[in-house]
Every structure is written in C-alpha cells, then in structure tokens.
Amino acid sequence: MNLLEYSLQQIINAVSQGSMFALVAVGLSIIFSLLRLTNFAHGDMMMVGAFGTLVMQLAGVPFLLAVLLGIVISALVGIIIERIAYRPVRGAPDVTMLLTSVALTYILENLGILLFTSSPRNFPLPDWMNASFNLADGRISFTSINLLTFGLTLLALLFLAWFVRNTQVGLGMRAAAEDLTASYLVGINVNTVIVVAFVMASSFAGLAGVLWAAQAGVVEPHMGFTPLLKAFVAAIIGGFGSIPGAIIGGFVLGALEVLIQSLPSEWGLGAYRDAIVFTLLIAFLLFRPGGIVGVKQEVKL
Amino acid sequence: MSETLLKLERLEVGYGAVRALKNVSLEVKSGEVVALLGANGAGKSTTLRAVSGLVKAKAGSISYANQNISKLNPTQIVALGVSHSPEGRRVFPGMTVLENLRLGASQRTDKENIQADLDRMFEMFPILSERKTQTAGTLSGGEQQMLALTRALMNRPKMLLLDEPSLGIAPLIVRQIFATLSELKKTGTTILLVEQNVNIALNLADRAYVLRTGEIVLEGSASELRANRERVAQAYLGGATLHDSRAA
Amino acid sequence: MKYSRLIIALGALLAFTLLLPNILPQYFVRVLIVMGINIILVSSLGLSNGFTGVFSLGHVGFMALGAYSSGILTLSVTKKLAYLPNLPGFLAGYNLPFLPATIIAGLLCAVVAFLIGIPLMRLSGNYVSVATLGFLVIVNNVLINAETLTRGARTFTGIPDFTTLAWVMAWLVVTLVVLSRIAYSPFGRAMRATREDGIAAQGVGIQVLPTRLIAFTIGAFFAGIGGALYAHYLVSFSPATFYIAMMVTQLTMLVLGGQASLTGATLGVVIVTILSELLRNLERGFDLGFVKLPAVFGASQIALGLIFILVMVFRPQGLFGDNEIRFVASHKNNKPKV
C-alpha cells in the first residue's frame, strides 16, 4: 500500500467518523445557542432512533420506512422532553438546566434497559447496506454505511443551512440564538422556534443513531453516551453554539481520532484516544473558549 | 383620533428590592406622539419594557385598545400591533439587514404585503437598501438605528415604542431619523418616545411626561413645556432632593 | 461547655456503631456502611459544587483514584504477584495498613485536584462542568489502559475487606467536622461570595481562584477517602464501577438535600438510599399471593431520575437550600448572611 492509498483510506475513515460527530454536535450546538442548555440527553436520541428503527423492523416495516419512523420517534421524544422537562427550567441557572438533562439521560437510558434490557441487540440491515466497495485492488475499501453516513449528513446539513436562511422559523432560530430579548420584542414565537430546534436536533441525532447502530451492528441503551461526549468535544472545539463551528469541530475531531489510531502502535497512544481528545477539550475551554470559529461571549441584558 | 390607545394606571414595577416605577399613570391617545423625559435611571426604559411585556408589573394595569395587556407575553403584545424599538437598538448583529427586517414581520398574517413594506422601508432609508445583504453588526450606529426603527415598523404597528433613537448617533442622522418620525406621525402612527434630548423630543411630541426616580413629576403639552424650560429642568433634577434609583 | 452536645452525640454514635453490627442483620449494616461512605462523598462534593458554585462532575473520578490507589497500597504482596505481576518495584514489595493507605489515597487526590484545579477553576458555569466531566472520562480511560497498575477493564480484586461500620463512622465524623469548620468560617463566607457573584467578591478583596481551588482540593481529598473506604468495602471493582451511573446517584443525593448544606447532603443521602433500597426490592418483583409482580429492572433508577427532575423544577435549591440543623452551638454565630 503506498502513501497515497493509505492517506485516501484514512481520509475516508476520517470523513465518515467526522460526519457522525458533526451530525450529533450540530444539534447540541443549536440547543445550547437558544437555551444555554448543555443537553446530556441529546445522545439518548440516538438510542431512541436506533431502537425505534429496530422495533419497526421487528414489526415488519420495510427497512427504509422503519428508519424514517425511527427518526420521527426521536423527534417526538425530543418534543416531549422539551415540553415536560426543559420548559419548566427554562431561564434557570445553567447548572439547573444541565442537571435536568443529566437526570433525563438517566431516565431515558434506564427506560431503554427496562424495555429492551441492557444487553446489546442485533441491528438487522438489508444486504445493500452491508455492501463494501474496493478500490486499488482492495487496498482502499469502504462500505455503503460509510457512504451513507457522509451523504446523509451532507443532506441534513444542507437542509439545515437552507432552513435557517430561508424560513421564518429558521431566521427566528438564528435571531433567538443571537439575542433572545430582542427576539421577543420583534414578535418571534420563541416557543415554536425552540420546539422546532428540538425536532431538528433530535431527528439528526436519531439519524446518527441509526447510522451508528448500522456501523456497530448492535443497539443498546447506553449507545448514545460515548458519541454524546464526542459531540460535546466537537461542538466546543468548533465553538459552542455555532452551527458551522459544530460541523467544523465534528470533522476536526473525526480526523484527529483517525490520526491517533493510525499512530505507530509502539507509542501506545491509540488506547488513550479518549484521554487525548478530552485533554484537547479542556485545553480549548481554557485557551480558546470560543472554539475554532471564535463564538463571541454572550452579552446579557 | 382622540380615543385613548394606551393607558397605564398606577403602575408599579420592581427589579428585586428596587422599585423602578412607582404609581405611574399615563395615557397616549390614538395618533398622538408622547415623549417620556427624565434623567438616567428615572424609569423611562422600564415603562416601555413594562408595556411590551418584558417586565411584569407588580401592581397597576396597562391597557391597550381597551384590553388589559399586563398579563400578556411580549409575543402576544407584538401581535396586537405594539412594536418596541429597544434601548441600544438590539439589531441581530450576525444577520443581514434584510433578515432583520423580515424578522420584524414575524407576527404579520398578511404575508403578501411584506415585500411591499420592505420596499417602503428601503425607500425611507435608501442606505439600508445598499446594505441589504450586509450583516447588521457591520453597520454604523446610525444605520443600526434606522434598521431598528424599520424592523419595528415591519410589524405595521399601531403603536410604536421608541427608546432613545438619538443616542450615540451623529446629529445629521438624528435629524434624518426624526424627519422620518414626523412623517410617520402624519400617517397616524401613535408613538411613545423615550428621549434624553429634550429639544428634539418636544419638537416632535404633542405631549410629554417627566419621570424622576420612577415617578411622574411633570406632564403637559409639548408647547407648554417648550415655553417653560425651567420647570422641566427643575422636574428633571428635583430641586435639592436629588436621588437616583439607577433602576432603568 | 460548647462541645458537650457534640461529645454526647459522638459517644452515642460510637456506642451504636460498635453495637449495631452485632444486633442488626448484615443487610442493614451494609446499607449503613454505603450510606456513610456516600455522606462523605456527597458532603465533600457539596463543598465545591454547592458552597463555591463550581459545579464539578468529576468527583467520581477522584473517588476512583482513591479506590485504586488504596487498593494497590494495601494489596498483600502475594496477591500483588498474582494479580498485578508487572507492578513497579516500589509498589510491589510491601503493603500498607488501612489508615495510612486511606490517607495517602486522599492526599493523592488532593494533589491531583490542586494541579488540575489551577487551570480549571477559571472556568465558569457549564464549562467547568463539562471540563470536570472530561476529567472523569480521562481517569476512566487511563484506569482501563494502565493495566500494570489496575488490571485494566478487568475486575480489580483481592483487596482486603477493611471497611467496617466503625471505620466509616469515624471518617464520617472527621469529614463532617472538618467540612463544617471550613464551610462556616470566614473562608466559608468567601466561598459563598464567589458563588453569588465572582466579580463582586473580587471587589471586596476575595481571591476567587484560590478560594475555589482550596474548596475543590479539600473536596477531592474526601472523595479519595470515600473511594478508599468503598474499595475496601466492595473488595473487587472495575473502572466501570466509578462512572456515570455513580455520578448521577451522587448528584441526585446532593441536589435533593440542598447543595450548600451539610445537613442537606446528609439527608439527601439518607433519603435516596432508603428510597433506592425500597425500590430495588420492589424492582426484583414480588409475589403478593394473588398477584405476582414481574421484575422490572431499571425502574428504581427511573424513579430516582424523576425525583431529580421534580427537584430541579420545583425546588432547585434542594430540601434544605443553604440551611443547616446544628449540633454544635458555637457554629450558630457563624451563620452566614448571604
């Protein structure tokens, strides 16, 4: 395998990984920008989406429709938790909102255990999802899951970009993130904006959950937690509260993880990937809290 | 033209332990321009914030078009046709001029007329038309004030609440903005104006109230007050008992 | 004599502690031990999270460090050879008694907290929470990979079962006395001032960073002690023992009782312990003769989570808020007026 082929293979891995992180991180960032809520329960929307898809498949729904319904279920759960848990603590100190989301995570994951037990379940896929493609006599390979992860993330992000520029609710979303008081004054329906934000964030996470489960081959109640932590890192190193920041952060983190994995194994760093990533997060918080894109500190009235 | 559009009765507003407004009663008739004058911290901005629902009254009532609005939220109040152009302009800095204006029409139900209104705003302040696709944060202070005003007008308000439109803006642009305001007055828009610049405010207004430490200490028609500058100055400062609640 | 009530209380506690294991069923003794350890952990968590408002999510990380270090220090030389054959020489050749091992575990945590606190205490609000959560993840990751010291993700076992109710109660008393001396001293007032308004606190000459750093360090010391006690109670554990589920349990106890109240922390632990023991027994399912309720695993955690959210919505300051029930008269005068 020559260097070019090797690099191409790593780039494919990094882009696939980065897409997933970006897809989850974008939702975290949107919600943080509106509510200053560090939403730990966001990762569980991945679990909801994946289990939703699984249940639909077991009920005999064809795969693609099952995925769609799984995503719809994530969005619905997003709406429900916003209404019953986050709305009552809206405007409370940051820590109160953060703790509420920690409690929600705990509830959702244990609901998952209650309904599906904590042992991983097989996530059935149609054959075309498992197909793999080889280039350069098999020295570069990727699966249709890799392709789909990138393609669907791209579609989702393009839709988001269109949405926040061209719809009244989307404009309201950006406005409320910039200046909540002024948003009320111009008559933006902030509640609608927040609900729509939860719908989008949760359905993106649901989609990410399906892709994650497809890649892993299994679903389990705690599956959302590790990607959630990674998405936090991505969102914060990109610039917490910024949509472009979350996307950039996602791909940077994907590239970084692939890079760490590809370091010579005698250095022994591969196993410490998570520690390295979180050290990076702490470094960003300390030295560049605005992240790569440089989010401005919020000015409060 | 003469029925009362906005009426505050014995309004009390407090921030924590500080009483920002004490027993404030005032009214604005349809088509009238009323100025709220007073020193820093007298409670002028708080009055506007109470009307638009940003702060809740502890006691007293606010009625608009014969409807009690003191329990409504800001969005509902905007929907009734009350637009508030706030202190410090508060344009959305990362969004374009056009997007800011479109957001001003958030509560409009007549979507088909919005484009025409946008054109009207750009006619009113052609500089904004040139800056249409620029983000609002890159505008000068005067341009941002024009944007804040037109954004408020995009709601087609029956009642406009304006907080210090002259603050920190070059005199030439202040004149341009007040010329626009007197045009608006001619078209029958009711305006409640907060101003520190007494001259400019009394030239536009029909009537005025002077607030000091959260209380109304003087009211009268603009012409009376223009003719009686000393009393206005005295009302501002409150003779020897000068104490500033620093609440607004 | 101002300490007379305290001495009586301590005497009674001692008598109970020595007597109880002989009269109570083993189950209750075990519950009391865990409860005591949790009070140590949660009240020390309250020192940084409640009193100074630095909302750390990394407390369990310190606990893990304490558990592993005390475990390694006390493991007998033969067991070290069997379980941790690659241990560096200075650790392999000897083992320590319980008390010094516990104290070293606490001090190690204090040193780590001090070092990471120097940068982290600058962060505010959500950011310090996320960063300390990052610390927890890093600790977990390192424990899993430092196989020569920890057996990695496998169960670390063979630790002597030193933890008795008497040890726990003794450490509990030390913890509560030390924490209450700190919390209701002038330094404690400084801590609360940095919580209420960092900028104003600076304005009256309180140095925010050192104040937070000291609180964080002391909290970590007791987390290490609690971790060590827990290690010698469990006897075998793995890095997964000290992770998110435990963090959530401790947070639930803290926020339920009241974040800036030692009484609150104590009662939070007591209430949550009783509730979760009850629920855990219900959850196994039971037979009422005429109906048979099936086991519903996860239900007790769901109930705890719901309680947590209800507290956040309806009483975010917790049951006790900033208030205490006092045993020692001399502390009354130090009651802060914030």
- The pLDDT tens digits for C136-175 are 999 999 999 988 888 888 899 889 999 988 899 999 999 9
Residues A49 and A201: their CA atoms lie apart, in Å, by 12
Q: At what angle do helices C26-46 and C262-283 cross, to 10 degrees?
A: 140
C288: confidence class by pLDDT, cuts 50, 70, 90: low
Which residue in A165, A182, A187 is closest to B92 by CB distance?
A182
Contact C152, C220 (CB under 8 A): no
Q: What is the pLDDT of residue C149?
A: 87
Best mutation target, C59, C248, C317, to test chain A (most A CBs within 10 A) = C248
Structure tokens at A90: 């809206």
B116 sits in the region (left: phi over 0; alpha: psi -120 to 50; else beta) called alpha
Per-residue pLDDT averaged across A246-263, rounded? 94
Residues C292 and C266: their CA atoms lie apart, in Å, by 36
For residues C262, C266, C272 and C275, what is the CA-based torsion angle, rounded to 10 degrees?
-140
Structure tokens at B164: 């210090």
CB contacts < 8 A, A to B, total: 69
CB proximity list for C328: less than 8 A, separation 6 or greater: C2, C3, C5, C6, C180
Q: In what order do the strands lie in the sheet with B18-29?
A: B18-29, B4-15, B59-64, B67-68
Residues A163 and C64: their CA atoms lie apart, in Å, by 46
On the question of pLDDT at B212 being above 70, the answer is yes
Write the DSSP symbol of residue C47.
I
Residues B41 and B19: their CA atoms lie apart, in Å, by 11
Chain A residue numbers touching C313 (CB-CB < 8 A) = 85, 88-89, 100
Angle at A272 between CA A271 and CA A277, to 5 degrees: 130
Angle at A138 between CA A137 and CA A139, to 5 degrees: 95
Residues B225 and B205: their CA atoms lie apart, in Å, by 11
Contact B103 A181 (CB under 8 A): no
Contact B89, B68 (CB under 8 A): no
Q: Where are the beta strands (DSSP E) in chain A?
A: 121-122, 132-135, 140-143, 218-219
Contact A99 C306 (CB under 8 A): no
Contact B91, B148 (CB under 8 A): yes
Q: In what order do the strands lie in the sheet with B82-85?
A: B82-85, B159-163, B190-194, B33-38, B207-212, B215-221
On the question of pLDDT at A272 being above 60, the answer is yes
Structure tokens at B18: 């500080």
Q: What is the pLDDT of residue A288?
A: 86
Structure tokens at C151: 């057996």
A276: confidence class by pLDDT, cuts 50, 70, 90: very high
On the question of pLDDT at B77 being above 70, the answer is yes
The widest CA-to-CA distance across chain C, in whole angstroms, is 69
Structure tokens at C253: 């106890």
Contact A275 C142 (CB under 8 A): yes
| 3-state secondary structure at position C288 | coil
C291: confidence class by pLDDT, cuts 50, 70, 90: low
The widest CA-to-CA distance across chain B, in whole angstroms, is 57
Per-residue pLDDT averaged across B94-106, rounded? 95
| 3-state secondary structure at position B221 | strand
Chains C and B touch (3+ CB pairs under 8 A): no
Q: What pairing do the DSSP bridges indicate for beta strands A132-135 and A140-143?
A: antiparallel
Q: What is the pLDDT of residue C193?
A: 83
Contact A18, A225 (CB under 8 A): no
Mean pLDDT taken over chain A: 91
Q: What is the pLDDT of residue C327?
A: 53
C8: confidence class by pLDDT, cuts 50, 70, 90: confident
Q: What is the pLDDT of residue A286?
A: 86
On the question of pLDDT at C337 being above 50, the answer is no
Q: What is the pLDDT of residue C294?
A: 63
On the question of pLDDT at C3 being above 70, the answer is no
Angle at C187 between CA C316 and CA C177, to 5 degrees: 75
Structure tokens at C128: 């310090």
Write the DSSP symbol of residue A270.
G
Per-residue pLDDT averaged across C63-75, rounded? 95
Q: What is the pLDDT of residue C247?
A: 93
CB proximity list for B7: less than 8 A, separation 6 or greater: B26, B27, B28, B62, B63, B64
Amino acid at A286: L
Per-residue pLDDT averaged across A10-19, rounded? 93
Residue B4 is inside which H or E element, if any?
A: strand B4-15
Contact A182, B99 (CB under 8 A): no
Q: Which of A206-210, C50-54, C60-64 has the weakest average pLDDT? A: C50-54
Chain A residue numbers touching C120 (CB-CB < 8 A) = 282, 286
How many angstroms separate the CA of residue C324 from the nearest CA in chain A?
22
Cβ atoms within 10 Å of B142's Cβ, excluding its own: 20
C286: confidence class by pLDDT, cuts 50, 70, 90: low
| 3-state secondary structure at position A60 | coil
On the question of pLDDT at B236 being above 90, the answer is no
Residue B67 is inside which H or E element, if any?
A: strand B67-68
Chain C residue numbers touching A114 (CB-CB < 8 A) = 296-299, 302
- Rounded percentage of chain A residues whose pLDDT exceeds 70: 98
Write the DSSP symbol of residue B40.
T
Sign of the CA dihedral running A244, A246, A252, A255:
negative
CB proximity list for B158: less than 8 A, separation 6 or greater: B5, B30, B65, B81, B82, B189, B190
Q: Considering only CA atoms, which of A237, A262, A241 is closest in space to residue A250?
A: A237
Best mutation target, C49, C115, C130, to test chain A (most A CBs within 10 A) = C130
Contact A285 C127 (CB under 8 A): yes
Q: Which of A50-64, A264-278, B89-103, B232-246 has the weakest average pLDDT? A: B232-246
Partner residues linked to C266 by β-bridges: none
B23 sits in the region (left: phi over 0; alpha: psi -120 to 50; else beta) called left
How many angstroms separate the CA of residue B229 from the nearest CA in chain A?
34
Residues B216 and B233: their CA atoms lie apart, in Å, by 14
Q: What is the pLDDT of residue C73?
A: 93
Residues C30 and B64: their CA atoms lie apart, in Å, by 67
- Residue A8 exposed, middle or buried by CB count within 10 Å (0-12, 13-18, 19+): middle
Contact A186 B152 (CB under 8 A): yes
Mean pLDDT taken over chain C: 85
Residue B28 is inside which H or E element, if any?
A: strand B18-29
CB proximity list for C231: less than 8 A, separation 6 or greater: C66, C67, C68, C70, C71, C159, C237
Chain A residue numbers touching B152 (CB-CB < 8 A) = 186
Which chain C residue has its CA at the smallest distance from A280's CA? C134
Residue with structure tokens 């610039």?
A239
Chain B residue numbers touching A178 (CB-CB < 8 A) = 92-95
Q: What is the pLDDT of residue C338?
A: 36
Which chain A residue has its CA at the smallest distance from C318's CA? A96
Helix %, strand %, coil % of chain B (to 5):
40, 25, 35
Residues C220 and C48: their CA atoms lie apart, in Å, by 9
Q: What is the pLDDT of residue C84?
A: 83
How many angstroms separate the CA of residue C56 from the nearest CA in chain A?
10
Q: What pairing do the DSSP bridges indicate for beta strands C292-293 and B4-15?
A: unpaired
Q: How far is CA C207 from the centre of its chain?
A: 26
On the question of pLDDT at B235 being above 50, the answer is yes
Q: How far is CA B152 from the centre of its chain?
A: 10
On the question of pLDDT at B9 being above 50, the answer is yes
Contact C134 A278 (CB under 8 A): yes
Contact A110 C313 (CB under 8 A): no
Per-residue pLDDT averaged across C279-285, rounded? 74
Buried b (16+ CB within 10 A) or exposed e, A150-189: bebbeebbeebeeebeeebbbbbbbbbbbbbebbbbbbbb
Model-level ipTM above the cut of 0.90:
no
How many angstroms separate the CA of residue C86 from the nearest CA in chain A?
17
Residue C69, φ and ψ in degrees, nearest 5: -70, -40
Per-residue pLDDT averaged across C71-87, rounded? 86
